[in-house]
Amino acid sequence: MSRCLRIALLALFPVLAGAQGTRTALVIGNAKYESAVGPLRNSVNDAKAVAKLLRGLGFSVVEEHNVTRDDLLEAVADFRKKTTGAEVALFYFAGHGISVGGSNYLIPVKSGYDPQNADETTLRLLAETKLFNAEQAVAEMSASGARCNLVILDACRNTPVARTPRTRDATASGGLSEMQPPAGSLIAFSTDAGRIAHDGDGANGLYTEELLKHMRTPGLTIEQVFKRTRAGVLERSGGAQIPAEYSRLIGEDIFLAGAASLPPPPAPPMKAEPAAAPTLAEITKLAAAGKAAECVTALQQTAASRGAGDFASAPLETLLERAKDDLKDATAPSPKVENAMKTCELVLTALRECLPPDHTQKAALTAKAQNRRGDALLLFGRADEALDAYNAALPLAPDDAYIQFNRGRALQALGDDAGARADFEAVVKSRTAKPGAKKLAQEALTAMKGA
């Protein structure tokens, strides 16, 4: 199946259950890019499909294809005027996108953008003068007075620069960056960091097909639309594509296709575990549901019947992402933190038993598991064990500045200020460290000076 990078940006302002507010949308699809960026195959098809569906859901839709930067700036400015006071306002962009300096940019046609041989300063200048800042679009929509934002980035986030109509990536350094949603908003990615999005077998991409199917289903809230979309993409891609969402939605439930006249049927009871080894689809579903113990048991059964293999990598990475979600924003011990620690320990066991020793992802996954296990141990006040976990992780991922920063936190908790300071300073001085890690390390150093 061919792979694509497809960017869909929507700013959707929800309808409260039973409300009859204004629905308006701006839908843009760009495909005819210059050769330096790379033309696309399905982006206009996706925009047409989304626009058609939205009209059927009661939206007033403005639809444009292959817009330049000036066209895009003008369209967004005009659209903001139409969204004032709207209950539902939606902005959709399908085309190329790129992250530069931690900011996400949408690429218009005829932009003149060419990242080849450009240094970081030149890339930033090119982005600001040739492209359109996605964060700016979100901010403008939020300021319009509509009730809530929904942002969807349907993007391959780490594909290399391609020159075929089958790919929608314009950078060799990785795809888009995370965007934190403002209050009352949800940001969804068609595939998580380090993954690729599949183009699908028809006129639309895999994620778009699943999203459209569930957006038109009556009785589904916004959250349920994305959960079902994620489940469908996971199953159809065999676990290779893992959508993710970051939500700050508030208020009553939102129904795009209206509330169902009858409640949904109850979920079928769980089947007893068959004697035969579970299928990859079943294992993938267990991982997506966060059922770490059942997932690892299934992987061990599969490895026992057919030997260690690549089948284990995607489910184990999914479990580690669930552990990351459980640890997010945690400041003290909690059931979620305990669950994250147990998940990481189970993943470490499965990595030893189910993944071949020479597998290309084994070191990286082991480093992630040890790092997140260390984070949980640190929250439980077990700094000595956390330090051991970080020390096990760092040699496996020496360029991961977050691990070195975390080790500094463990050393600081153990009273080794000199060792902690050395780790924090190393992160700040690193040329490869991500901006977020550098910021955390600098804040830690500042706090140590003020203590």
Report the C-alpha gap between 407 and 389 in whole angstroms.
Answer: 9
Report the C-alpha gap between 296 and 346 in whole angstroms.
Answer: 7
Confidence of residue 19 (pLDDT cuts 50, 70, 90): very low
Domains defined along the chain, listed by start: 3-247 (3.40.50.1460), 280-398 (1.25.40), 411-451 (no CATH)
Q: How many residues does the chain have?
A: 451
Q: What is the pLDDT of residue 196?
A: 59
* Amino acid in position 84: T
Lowest mean pLDDT among 94-103, 107-116, 330-339: 94-103
Residue 30 pLDDT > 90: no
Lowest mean pLDDT among 157-161, 168-172, 417-421: 157-161
Of the chain, the percentage scoring pLDDT greater than 90 comes to 38
8 A C-beta contact, residue 346 and residue 286: no
Report the C-alpha gap between 99 and 69 in whole angstroms.
Answer: 17
In tens, the pLDDT along 236-270 reads 888 778 887 877 777 777 677 877 665 667 777 76
Q: What is the pLDDT of residue 167?
A: 36
Q: Are strands 103-106 and 97-100 parallel, antiparallel or unpaired?
A: antiparallel
Report the C-alpha gap between 354 and 52 in whole angstroms.
Answer: 46
Residue 137 pLDDT > 80: no
> What's the pTM value of the predicted model, to 2 decimals?
0.53
8 A C-beta contact, residue 72 and residue 149: no
Q: Which of 193, 195, 196, 7 is nearest to 98 (CA)?
A: 7
The residue with greater pLDDT, 319 or 161, is 319
8 A C-beta contact, residue 43 and residue 8: no
The structure tokens listed for 420 are: 């902690």
Residue 365 pLDDT > 60: yes
Q: What is the pLDDT of residue 276?
A: 65
